[in-house]
Amino acid sequence: MTQNYIEHLNIEQFQKDLIDWYYIVKRDLPWRINRDPYRILVSEIMLQQTQVVTVIPYYERFMKLFPTTKELAEADEQTLLKAWEGLGYYSRARNLQESAKMIEAMGGFPTTHEEILKLKGVGPYTAGAVSSIAFGIPAPAVDGNVFRVMSRVCCIFEDIAKPKTRKVFESVVTDVISHEDPSAFNQGLMELGATICTPKSPKCLECPVQKHCQAFKQGIDDLLPVKTKANAQVKTKLVVAIVENQYGEYLVNKRPDKGLLANFYEFMSFEYDGTLEPAEFLLEKLSPVCKNVESIQAIGTFNHVFSHRIWEMESYSVKVTTDITLSDEVAENSGLWISSTSLHEYPLVAAHHKILSEYDKL
C-alpha cells in the first residue's frame, strides 16, 4: 500500500537529513532529561492539544507531586484533579492514574509496543511515542504534525479526518522510520511539523527534508493535508451564578461522578430554557436554596469551548443572607458553602474561572 507513496524517497538519506537536523534543533525539555517511560508518558499525555511552553510548569509540578507511578497510583482524586487543573481534558488525568495502577500491578512499566498500547487512555500515537523514545522500538507515532509532514513529503491525498487514514500514514512511517534511532526520527518529524512544516506558510526554504518533498517540488504544499470539516459543536446555553453570603462564602456544587468534568466543583449553573429573562430564570432556580436575595448583578457572557461542545454562559453575581442551612435539593447535589480563601483548594471547572476573575473586578 505504501509502495507508491515512498517510491520517490531515498529512505536512508531522508532519515539522515531529518535526524541530523533534529539533533541540531533539539530543545532541552524537562521530559528529555532521561528515558524514564513514565516521565515520557506523562509528557505525551499533557502535550496532546497543549503547547510545549504551556505544559512545562504543569509538568514540573506534576512530577514533583507524583515522581513515580507509585505516588500517582496512590493519589486521591482531588489532589490529582487539582494538579491537572488548567490543562483540560480531565479524563486524561484519570486515565493516567489508571495506567499508573496497572503498571504498579504489573510490577514495572511494560517494555513492548503491544503492552504499552494496553495502558488506559494510551492510543496508537502515544504508544508509538513512548515505545520509540523510551525503548528505541521502531514504532510509528502519527500525530497532527506527522500527518502534515508526511502528507506533503509523499503527496498523500487521503482525508486525515477519516479514522482509517491513520493506518495509511502508520504504514508509510513504518516503512521509512530509522531502526538505528527511531526516537530521534519520530521526534524529528514532530518537531519539523511544529516549527517548519506548519499548517500555513511552511518554511520550505529552511526545511531539512526539502529535497525529498513531493509537495514542494510540485508547489502544492498548501493543498495538503486533506482534511474535511468535523461536525459542528453542540451549543448549550447556561445561566451561572456566583452566590455569596454575608460571611464571604460561595455556594458551589460538585458535579456528578460520571460524564463531562466528573467530580469537579462549579458555581450554581442551570441549563437555560429561554422561558423567562435569564435573571428571572436564575432567581426561580435559586429560590429553593437562597431565600433572602439581597442583590443580583450581571457579570457578563462567556463562552467556553470543549472539543465537541460550547457552553454559552450568562453569568450573575447574587448576594444573599443565609443561616447556612441548605435545602434538601441542594444537599442532594452535594452543594456546599465554601469560604473565598479556601476556594482554590477545590478543583473548579475552568469555564468558571473566567467568570470568577470578572466577578473579582466588580
- By annotation, the residues acting in catalysis are 44
Q: Which of 210, 236, 253, 334 binds ligand SF4 (CB under 6 A)?
A: 210
List all residues 6 or more positions away from 101 whose beta carbon is below 8 Å from its beta carbon: 73
Based on CB atoms, which residue is closest to ligand SF4, 21 or 62? 21
* Distance in Å, CB of 28 to ligand SF4, minimum: 24
Based on CB atoms, which residue is closest to ligand SF4, 215 or 355? 215
C-alpha cell, 318: 447574587
Q: Which of 72, 81, 209, 283 binds ligand SF4 (CB under 6 A)?
A: 209
Based on CB atoms, which residue is closest to ligand SF4, 216 or 272? 216
* Distance in Å, CB of 145 to ligand SF4, minimum: 10
Query: Dihedrals φ, ψ of 250, to 5°?
Result: -105, 145
User: How many other CB atoms sit within 10 Å of the CB of residue 362?
Assistant: 10
Q: Which of 47, 153, 177, 313 binds ligand SF4 (CB under 6 A)?
A: 153
**Amino acid at the residue 228:** T
337's enclosing H/E stretch is: strand 336-339
Question: Could you say which residues in the range 213-232 bind ligand SF4, by CB under 6 A?
Answer: 213, 215-216, 221
Based on CB atoms, which residue is closest to ligand SF4, 16 or 354? 16
How many chain residues interact with ligand SF4 (CB under 6 A)? 14
For 157, counting Cβ atoms within 10 Å of its Cβ (0-12 exposed, 13-18 middle, 19+ buried), the class is exposed
C-alpha cell, 149: 509532514
State whether residue 270 is helix, strand or coil: strand
For residues 181 and 204, what is the distance between their CA atoms, to the nearest angstrom? 25
Based on CB atoms, which residue is closest to ligand SF4, 69 or 186? 186
Torsion (CA) 191, 308, 124, 212 in degrees, nearest 10: -40
- For ligand SF4, what does the binding mask look like between residues 166 and 205, x meaning CB under 6 A? ------------------------------xx----x-x-
Taking contact as CB under 6 A, which single stretch among the options 19-27, 52-60, 209-217, 332-340 is the one that binds ligand SF4? 209-217
For 230, counting Cβ atoms within 10 Å of its Cβ (0-12 exposed, 13-18 middle, 19+ buried), the class is exposed
* Distance in Å, CB of 197 to ligand SF4, minimum: 3
Residues in touch with ligand SF4 (CB under 6 A): 149, 152-153, 196-197, 202, 204, 207, 209-210, 213, 215-216, 221
